[in-house]
Amino acid sequence: MSTPPSTSAQSQPAAAETYDVVVVGAGFAGLYMLHKLRGQGFSVRVYEQGGDVGGTWYWNRYPGARCDVESMQYSYSFSDELQQEWDWSERYAPQPEILKYANHVADRFNLRSDIAFDTRVDRAEFDESANSWAVTTSDDRSVTAKYVVLATGCLSNARMPDIRGLSGFKGKVYHTGNWPHEPIDFTGQRVGVIGTGSSAIQSVPIIAEEAEHLTVFQRTANFSIPARNAALTAEEREAFRQKYSEIRRFAREEARNGIYTEMPDRGALEDGENERRSKYEARWSRGGLTFMSVYNNLAIDKAANDTAADFVRAKIAETVKDPQTAKLLQPNNHPIGSKRICIDSDYFATFNRPNVTLVDIRSNPIEQILPNAVRAGGKDYEVDALVLATGFDAMTGSVAKIDIRGRNGQTLNQKWAEGPKTYLGLMSAGFPNLFIITGPGSPSVLSNMIVSIEQHVDWIADCVGWMRDHGLEVLEAEQGAEDKWVAHVNEVAHTTLYPQANSWYMGANIPGKPQIFMPYIGGVGVYRQICNDVAAKGYEGFVMTAAQQPQKMAAS
Ligand code: NAP
């Protein structure tokens, strides 16, 4: 290991431009990775393409953006002082507050000095003779590092839709995933929103309040549960803090999705209709993502799932006054939860407003964008501004943008041409000393992301510490272990209803992207145990090499 630069030297590259670890991205994953590795005495350089910290919360500044996991849980647990001292203002904090929190963490732990902002990593190439990575950045600089950690995020690569005429539109075009930093005022404008996923569902009610007229172009109706957002009182925060250690333990070890809630003890069909309805009502009134935790078989049994889906469809019909609009808003082509469930504040009720129109572009697809209108089904909808809430090239998109070359010059994009292949979602065979935080093949987007980020960061930090302690230089996933893991991830996914939806989990939102269920659905507790067991067995399934001679570590 190279000697970590002293604190005073950290603001400038080490003399030899050599680091123990290069981390790509300064979102929640990159920030904690830096903090953790630096605490272990490693020299670390973080590159961040944005102008500041925060990752997804730096880019997603659209109106109404807020977290869909309660903030007391969507927050770091690694520092008890931090979790005891930070005051979240609302049940689901709005984007500016989450960004403020990321900035607070960066300052509190003095992280900025090791982060280069406005700097993209363009290329990373493994040098087999030196056992190190050569990393080239967008400012044409090159550094070397023993390890590279991709903390690039799962939903950070906003995707522009390929719609004819879009570039000729005369008004302003905004993408929810890459929103301007200054506030946008839609007052007096005719606005078109394309897409009806989480980002649209959060922004539509706010834009509708401002715009003269809002037209929402919907290809697929989505299930959405009321957030029931509210200000947090000091008493509520305090009650949470008193229980924090148990809440965090439960989220890590027992909850499948990393969220503390009551666990269901039965399937939906084990209750009679009245009992079932009252349980759904109770969760609907409480609001939030844990609606899907009413029963333990909603993700695996279609008949059970139908009971929850019917309940939500009935709620939509109750809320939306125009029966035709209500029918269009009722999802009917995928099981509830098989696409990421949305959490809203008055989304469905917004369609009762006289200044809001829903356009069904499944039956009448968008033909083209004209300079002042969207043409769909032969009709022109005049708009002054367009909001594209069309999502992301999820899970692999940001990694794919970097030219990553492993052994024998193979690129990661070549290796993943038919879908991402990893061992534990952490590494890919042929790409030594390259870690991915919340990579495909790990629970990642199916969980409270911060729980999964912390687990990966801790595991990676332990791993590289262990390598240093054992005089080892190179760590690489074994091909056989990777093949088995990929098969396992796939097998578990196909015991559920998830693959029945054309979701971004499957890569289905990107034309030509291989359709493979990318996250690991076994649950964060089970997954954590698997990762811990692998480490306890001397990093079973990984090949390790000492400075000179290759050796396979025997399981201890
Ligand atoms: P998304 O879920 O992928 O939704 C994109 C929407 O755009 C879909 O309705 C999609 O229709 C539509 N679309 C895409 N391309 C189109 C085209 N060419 N023409 C017409 N419609 C098109 O993206 P998102 O809403 O940005 O959310 C992505 C994920 O980010 C979420 O699932 C969630 O995990 C995360 N997120 C979280 C929060 C939160 O924490 N509250 C907020 C926002 C996002 P189809 O469904 O037919 O493809």
pLDDT digits (tens, 9 = 90+) for 337-350: 999 999 999 999 99
Would the CB of 219 count as within 6 Å of ligand 1? yes
Cα angle, residue 350 at apex, residues 382 and 71 outer, rounded to 5°: 120
Residues 302-329: what's their mean pLDDT? 98
Residue 548 has a pLDDT of 62
Locate tokens 């039956």: which residue? 363
How many alpha carbons lie under 13 Å from residue 125 in its C-beta half-sphere? 10
Task: Say if residue 15's pLDDT is above 70.
Answer: no
Q: What is the DSSP string of 455-520?
A: HHHHHHHHHHHHHHHTTEEEEEE-HHHHHHHHHHHHHHHTTSSGGGS--GGGTTTSTT------S-
Which whole-number Å values give the CA distances from 419 to 310, 410, 430, 513, 543, in the listed order? 34, 15, 16, 8, 23
pLDDT-wise least confident of 199-213, 324-338, 415-429, 505-519: 505-519
Task: Identify residue 150 by its one-letter amino acid code.
Answer: L
Tell whether ligand 1 has an atom less than 6 A from the beta carbon of residue 123. Answer: no
Average pLDDT over residues 219-235: 97
Going by alpha carbons, the residue nearest to atom 15 of ligand 1 is: 390
What's the pLDDT at 549? 52
Atom of ligand 1 minimally distant from the CA of 162: 18
pLDDT for 91-116, tens place per residue? 999 999 999 999 999 999 999 999 99
Q: Is the CB of 49 under 6 A from ligand 1?
A: no
Strands 550-551 and 542-546: antiparallel
pLDDT in tens, 66-93: 999 999 999 999 999 999 999 999 999 9
Check if 157 has its Cβ closer than 6 Å to any atom of ligand 1: no
Mean pLDDT of 41-63: 98
Q: In degrees rounded to 5, what are phi and psi of residue 143?
A: -130, 165
For the chain, the average pLDDT equals: 94
CA–centroid distance, residue 196 to ligand 1 (Å)? 6
Nearest CA to ligand 1 atom 46: 220
Q: How far is ligand 1, taken at its centre, from the CA of residue 112, in Å?
A: 32
Task: Give me ligand 1 centre to Cα 194, in Å.
Answer: 10
In the numeric block, which tokens belong to residue 314? Answer: 């009935």
Give the contacts of 6 (CB within 8 A, at least 6 positions apart).
none
Q: Which of 14-23, 128-137, 153-162, 209-218 has the lowest mean pLDDT?
A: 14-23
Check residue 550 and give its pLDDT.
47
In angstroms, what is the span from residue 66 Cα to ligand 1's centroid?
A: 15
231 and 224 Cβ atoms separated by less than 8 Å:
no
Higher per-residue pLDDT: 431 or 506: 431
- pLDDT tens, residue by residue, 536-549: 999 999 999 997 65
pLDDT beyond 60 at 280:
yes
| 412-429 pLDDT, tens digit each | 999 999 999 999 999 999
Measured CA to CA, the distance from residue 58 to residue 47 in angstroms comes to 15
Percentage of the chain beyond pLDDT 90 is: 92
Confidence (pLDDT) at 156: 85
Confidence class for position 214, pLDDT limits 50, 70, 90: very high
pTM for this structure?
Answer: 0.95
Give the closest residue (by CA) to ligand 1 atom 28.
Answer: 391
Q: Answer whether 34's CB lies under 8 Å from 115's CB.
A: yes
The confidence score (pLDDT) of residue 547 equals 72
CB 413 within 8 A of CB 399: no
Distance (Å, rounded) from C-alpha 395 to C-alpha 492?
Answer: 18
Of 137, 143, 141, nearest to 120 by C-alpha is: 137
pLDDT for the residue 5: 40
Sheet holding 379-382, edge to edge: 366-370, 373-376, 379-382
Q: Is the CB of 156 under 6 A from ligand 1?
A: no
Query: Among the atoms of ligand 1, which is closest to the Cα of residue 202?
Result: 42
pLDDT in tens, 176-185: 999 999 999 9
If you take atom 34 of ligand 1, which residue's CA is the nearest one?
340
